[in-house]
């Protein structure tokens, strides 16, 4: 059976024609569950204030990911991807458990690597907006690397504790103790990494259409809207541990 016949049977009589489109094809991808253990928090104010005896994580997020792609020697089409994650952390620091907490902020860095298949391409592509794909090295050989992207969900703060790390001496600064107190964290991170390249594909198209749904406008009074709301019975009926199931707090924080 020909490709056109298969397309006709799949899309029925509504099929119009096949047109070329430019898309980023995913050549390879992987998902990972990383437990980033015992990494120090680089506090914005330098050192953990004296007298702090307890720290809790209020919120942690991925602020940036730096990626570097290099071909794997003797394994054509495969690429090594080095990733460095930058996490921004907001902490609650206590001198005593019942005291008013002090808010601290800091940064955590973590790195990982993976190898994925990204195919090969010996072409250069230039776009009218100034963007180009592919470069040439000193020997005029075209280097066209695939594009890597990483998707993450909010990280989980699995543990937050006080510890000591080696102090980095600053040139010309006064002599300080060789170690300093800071916050040590263990983070859990779920991620998906992909390697893509731009390709041209033929896809079936249909006639242009506009949404049939009208844009709703609520003209009722606030009290009328309130009267239609379901009564939150569950809020007045606390659940037991068995009924609640496995639910965790938001903001990626589970440590104490």
Asked if residue 82 lies in contact with residue 113, where contact means CB atoms within 8 angstroms, the answer is yes
Alpha-carbon distance 115 to 104, whole Å?
A: 37
Return the pLDDT at 256: 42
| Burial environment of residue 185 by CB neighbours within 10 A (0 to 12, 13 to 18, 19 or more) | buried
CA-based radius of gyration for the chain: 27
d(CA 91, CA 105): 6
| Domain definitions of the chain by residue range | 22-126+133-210
Q: Provide the residue count of the chain.
A: 256
Which token pair is 234? Answer: 């569950």
Ramachandran bin of 206, using left for φ above 0, alpha for ψ from -120 to 50, beta for the remaining angles: beta
One digit per residue, pLDDT tens: the chain, 256 residues? Answer: 555 555 555 545 555 688 898 898 999 999 999 999 999 999 998 888 888 899 999 999 999 999 999 999 888 899 999 999 999 999 999 998 888 889 999 999 999 999 999 988 777 777 777 777 777 666 666 577 889 999 999 999 999 999 988 877 766 666 677 788 899 999 999 999 999 998 888 988 888 888 888 887 777 788 888 888 888 887 777 777 677 665 554 454 444 4
Candidates 86, 124, 88, 122; CA nearest to 105 is: 88
pLDDT at 141: 64
**CA separation, residue 126 to residues 62, 71, 131, 230 (Å):** 32, 22, 6, 57
Q: What is the pLDDT, as a whole number, of residue 229? A: 86
| The model's pTM | 0.74
> How many Cβ atoms sit within 10 Å of the Cβ of residue 26?
14
Measured CA to CA, the distance from residue 160 to residue 184 in angstroms comes to 6
Please identify which residue in the block is written with the tokens 């230039």: 126
Return d(Cα 118, Cα 77) in angstroms, integer: 6
């Amino acid at each position: 059976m020909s490709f056109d016949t298969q397309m006709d049977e799949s899309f029925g009589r509504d099929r119009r024609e096949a047109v070329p489109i430019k898309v980023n094809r995913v050549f390879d991808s992987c998902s990972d569950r990383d437990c980033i253990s015992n990494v120090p928090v680089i506090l914005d104010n330098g050192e953990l204030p004296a007298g702090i005896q307890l720290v809790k994580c209020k919120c942690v997020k991925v602020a940036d990911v730096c990626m570097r792609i290099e071909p794997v020697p003797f394994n054509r089409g495969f690429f090594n991807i080095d990733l460095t994650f930058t996490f921004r952390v907001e902490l609650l620091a206590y001198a005593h458990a019942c005291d008013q907490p002090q808010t601290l902020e800091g940064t955590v860095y973590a790195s990982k690597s993976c190898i994925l298949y990204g195919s090969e391409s010996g072409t250069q592509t230039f776009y009218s907006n100034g963007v180009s794909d592919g470069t040439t090295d000193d020997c005029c050989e075209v280097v066209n690397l695939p594009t890597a992207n990483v998707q993450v969900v909010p990280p989980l703060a699995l543990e937050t504790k006080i510890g000591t790390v080696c102090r980095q001496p600053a040139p010309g600064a006064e002599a300080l103790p060789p170690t300093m107190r800071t916050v040590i964290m263990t983070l859990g991170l779920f991620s998906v990494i992909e390697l893509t390249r731009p390709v041209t594909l033929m896809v079936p198209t249909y006639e242009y259409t506009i949404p049939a749904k009208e844009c709703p406008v609520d003209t009722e009074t606030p009290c009328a809207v309130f009267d239609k709301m379901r009564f939150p019975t569950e809020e007045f009926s606390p659940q037991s541990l068995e009924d609640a199931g496995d639910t965790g707090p938001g903001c990626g924080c589970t440590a104490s």
